[in-house]
Amino acid sequence: MNGLKFIKVNNPDEGSENLFNIIKEALEKNELHVLGLATGGTMIPVYKKWVESDLDFSGVTTFNLDEYVGISDDNPNGYAYFMNEHLFSKKKFKKVNTLNGLAENLEEECQRFEDLLLANPLDIQILGVGENGHIAFNEPGTPFDSVTHVAKLTQSTLEVNSRFFKPGEKVPNTAMTMGIKSILRAKKIVLLAFGEKKRAALTKLSEGKVDSEWPITKLLEHDNVTIITDLAI
């Protein structure tokens, strides 16, 4: 039907181990030069494993999927901060690329990022998924041909992501994100989804029909996607 492969694991830790092995093998085969990274709670055990390992990323360039608008590198709610805390301050990379949430001209910042992506094709893109099926910050209804762009977040995403913010702190309602087309250009995509809250999105995917209200379903058109999940779908 498509290039989708499901790996069923017992828990997130086992899932992180699976992804670790995929990354390790790609590094050993010298097939991993450009790596797309994700943020979110799902990725915390993933990066912990990498940090505790002897994986050598010194020849690897990275691109992060997204960033909130109006949030600086030193703001703990930001994704650049998240990456520094969990990975970049602990492992050496050749070069890391993140979107600048404080850029004066957001359109220009998106273009700068997209140009860099085009010049450095992704070998592997790691993805999480939102409860509403969003990938990166491509919310339901985002055109499938979108490249890196400014995105308005849905109420549901604001509510779900508010758990990372302190009480009283407002979740930014705007972000910059790699587009669906930018993500699908990666040679290989590995998506991690753990827990019941991700069931609706994975169920849509397994139904096998591309639906713009469920951005995750566009992965059905890619020829090399691995889904690592603890859900029996």
Binding site for ligand GLP (CB under 6 A): 38-42, 65-66, 128-130, 136-137, 157, 161
14 included as an active-site residue: no
CA distances (Å), 97 to each of 5, 110, 159, 212, 232, in order? 28, 12, 27, 28, 35
Residue 6 or 164: which CB sits closer to ligand GLP?
164
> Nearest approach, Cβ of 218 to ligand GLP (angstroms)?
15
Helical ranges in the chain per DSSP H: 12-28, 43-52, 79-83, 106-119, 155-161, 180-184, 199-207
- Read off the amino acid at residue 185: R
Asked if 139 is an active-site residue, the reply is: yes
CB-wise, 27 or 171, nearer to ligand GLP? 171
Least separation in angstroms between CB 180 and ligand GLP:
13
Is there a catalytic annotation at residue 66? Answer: yes
DSSP annotation of 153 reads P
Nearer to ligand GLP, 41 or 59 (CB): 41
Residue reference for tokens 């993805």:
127
Q: Which of 77, 132, 138, 161 is catalytic?
A: 132
How far, in Å, CA of 39 to CA of 115, rounded?
22
Residue 104 CB, nearest approach to ligand GLP (Å): 23
| Percent of the chain as helix, strand, coil, to the nearest 5 | 35, 20, 45
Q: Please confirm, yes or no, whether 18 is among the known catalytic residues.
A: no
Q: Which is nearer to ligand GLP, 99 or 220 (CB)?
A: 99
Catalytic residue among 66, 67, 109, 230: 66
Nearer to ligand GLP, 27 or 49 (CB): 49
From 86, 139, 222, 230, the catalytic residue: 139
46 three-state secondary structure = helix
Q: Region of 32 please: left (phi>0), alpha (psi -120 to 50) or beta.
A: beta
Least separation, in Å, of the C-beta of 219 and ligand GLP? 13
List 86, 134, 149, 222, catalytic entry:
134
The nearest distance, CB 64 to ligand GLP, in angstroms, is: 9
Q: Contact at 8 Å (CB) between 15 and 231?
A: no
- Which amino acids are annotated catalytic? 66, 132, 134, 139
